Amino acid sequence: MSAVFIPCGGSYDSRRRINLDGVAYDIRTRWNNRSNSWFLYIGLSDQQPLFKSRVVNGLDLLKSYKGIEGCPQGYLLLVDIEKDTGRPTFEELGIDSRFRLLYASTLEELLELVPEEV
């Protein structure tokens, strides 16, 4: 599989179904006003989420969860296309926004797509 940007954001509670490495997942992003941050829920399609995580920049968002059966085994990063630090606001997360969720099956695929500035 090639690396993909995952459609997300655009509303306070967004849900998408996407295939990652040949497996269908339901991906949900929710904005939390109290913490001013995005949260990500990932689960196998039509099942309860496998985990919930705050969306942060600079980390593999799947790293802590790869031991959970059904969790995607690739890399999921929040990419800031303007600079390498920062935190997405409500308006800044999405496929055409400053912050984008990027999934790659392998580290090589990930390095090919991450902008050089990052």
pLDDT tens for each residue of 35-49: 999 999 999 999 999
How confident is the model over 96-107, as a mean pLDDT? 92
Boundaries of domain holding 17? 4-113
> 41 lies in a domain?
yes
> 62 lies in a domain?
yes
| Residues 44-96: tens digit of each pLDDT | 999 999 999 999 988 999 999 999 999 999 999 998 888 767 789 999 999 89
Per-residue CA distances from 65 to 11, 53, 88, 95, 97 (Å): 26, 10, 22, 24, 26
Query: In terms of pTM, does the model score above 0.75?
Result: yes
> 47 lies in a domain?
yes
- What is the domain count for the chain? 1
> 70 lies in a domain?
yes
